[in-house]
Structure 1
Amino acid sequence: MSEQSGLRARKKARTHQAISDAAITLFLERGYERVSVAEVAAAAEVSKPTLFRYFPAKEDLVLDRIADHQDEAARVVRDRTPGQSPLTALHRHLHERLRARDPVSGLNDHPQVMAFHAMLYANPSLLARLVRYGARNEEALAGALSEAVSAEPSDPAPRLAATQIVNVLQVLARENWRKLSAGRTADEVHPEAVADADRAFGLLGGGLAERFG
């Protein structure tokens, strides 16, 4: 990469982060529905067309905070240790995310993270966008599972398994957040979160172990 290309990339990254930070700050202060895209652009000191080049829809200003986890399940499957099954790799990864109090696991009681999840789960348009994110995760995971078992292109099993796994992970995260929103701490909920994860993967394994366990 040339020096000029590197400078452009860093400038784009700074602009992207500035827009994202401005949006989240305004949304959490005033509410997602009460903040316009024009107000976010003004706070980030960019034009609306510039904002839309980075974030095609208003909902993406929120979902950007979980974009780093896009296709994460697929990466876990592809990067698993030799001899480890896909389900075991995903199960262990979830334990790691819970132990680290990763916000994507729902087990993070920082006030700003709690407020972010409350905003996300309370807004129908954001939830609809989250479903689209989940669909992309399912597609990526299905591809990784298909590779893992050398499935034929016509075999529906990887896609069926991916749908179950991604939805289970989403349900577990939302259940963890629900417990925290009731006033409990992440440390208090952690043992239950681990037990719920073990139970969920036990159920998944009962149906998927023959191919992916």
Structure 2
Amino acid sequence: MSVDREPGLRERKKERTRRAISDVAMRLFADRGFDNVTVAEVAEAAEVSLSTVFNYFPTKEDIFFDRQEDVEQEWGEVVRGRKPGESAVAALRRHYFEALERREPRSGIAEGLVTFHRMIEESPALRAREREIGERGVEALARTLAEEAGADPDDITPRVVANQVAGVYGALYNEGRRRLLAGQSVEEAYPFLLRAARRAFDLLENGVGDYCIRPG
């Protein structure tokens, strides 16, 4: 039994170390700005070696976007988990509105998110990485759509739909960021985003709403 438990203990310890590094780094980034903090300073503040930081995070941008792999795969997972009779776009619409209703970060508005937004706006490196994460998310969604729809390799429809979905999500997220950075509270920004999201997803569903419906 001890043999079975050991990997779990190691993994939990590794996750605690990873989280501790990330938490310390984010405090430093928030206080001084992402571009003004070195990885060596993160290691010192977290009381670990520089090599330990790089073992968990290959680059400083990876520390900031510590959930980037989850973000990149999220849309595809939503599509794979859609309900019987539900299209890919309908599932993604439901996913966004659930996040907006709960004021989750992926909607663009959440308590405490303004600091995160501000750090990205102030750093060219973070803006570039954010674009890369978005592009990989589109690629992952396109692959999932192609698999779920049984699309021919030469069919560009999955990529077209993926880019349209990303355009809607991106426009709503960026509008939420713009409003928070302009000084609006989460609750002040919410009604606008709700109306904008309804309009945006209505347009999207009118165009590709019947694509990739899961059989009942």
TM, length-normalised to structure 1: 0.92
Q: Could you give the per-residue CA deviations for residues 151-191 of structure 1, whole angstroms, max 9, x where no partner exists? A: 11221110121122123212211101211222222122212
Q: Which of 2, 20, 23 is residue 22 of structure 2 equivalent to? A: 20
Matched residue count: 211
- Give 1:134-149 correspondences, 5 Å limit: 134-149=134-149
Q: Which residue of 2 aligns with 1:8?
A: 10
Partner of 2:46: 44
Following superposition, the deviation at residue 212 of structure 1 comes to 4.5
- Taking only aligned residues, the RMSD between alpha carbons, in angstroms, comes to 1.7
- The residue matched to 1:2 in structure 2 has which SS? helix
Report the residue type matching 2:209 in the other structure.
A
How far did 1:69 drift?
2.8
- Contact conserved, 2:107 with 2:172, CA < 8 A, in 1? yes
How far apart in 2 are the matches of 1:129 and 1:70?
Answer: 12
Question: 1:67 Cα shift?
Answer: 4.7
Q: Which residue of 2 aligns with 1:89?
A: 91
**1:169 and 2:173 aligned:** no
Report the counterpart of residue 57 of structure 1 in structure 2. Answer: 59
**Given residue 92 of structure 2, which amino acid in structure 1 is its aligned partner?**
L
Who is 1:133 aligned against?
133
Alpha-carbon contact 1:55-1:61 (below 8 Å) kept: yes
- Percent of paired sites with the same residue: 45
Distance 1:16 1:109 in 2: 24
Alignment gaps of 5+ in structure 2: none
3-state SS of the aligned residue for 2:148?
helix
What's the CA shift string for 1:77-131, capped at 9, x where partnerless? 1101100011111111111000111112111133xx2111110133111111111
**Matched residues in 2 for 1:206 and 1:127: separation?**
32
State whether residues 66 and 104 of structure 1, in contact with CA within 8 Å, keep that contact through their aligned partners in structure 2: no
Q: Which residue of 2 aligns with 1:151?
A: 151
| AA at the equivalent of 2:191 | P
Contact 1:108 1:186 in 2 (8 A): yes
AA at the equivalent of 2:106 = V
The aligned amino acid for 1:55 is: F
1:99 matched to 2:101? The reply is yes
Change (3 A) 1:133 1:19: same
Match of 2:204? 204
> Aligned partners of 1:210, 1:97: CA distance in 2, in Å?
23
Instruction: State which drifts further: 80-89 or 61-70.
Output: 61-70
Deviation of residue 25 (structure 1)? Answer: 0.5
The equivalent residue for 2:123 is 123
Q: Distance in 1 between matches of 2:122 and 2:164?
A: 24
Corresponding letter in the other structure for 1:211: Y
| SS of 1:115 mapped into structure 2 | helix
Asked if 2 retains the 8 angstrom alpha-carbon contact of 1:109 and 1:180, the reply is: no
Q: Distance in 2 between matches of 1:28 and 1:178?
A: 18
Q: Which residue of 1 aligns with 2:78?
A: 76
Moved more, 19-28 or 163-172: 163-172
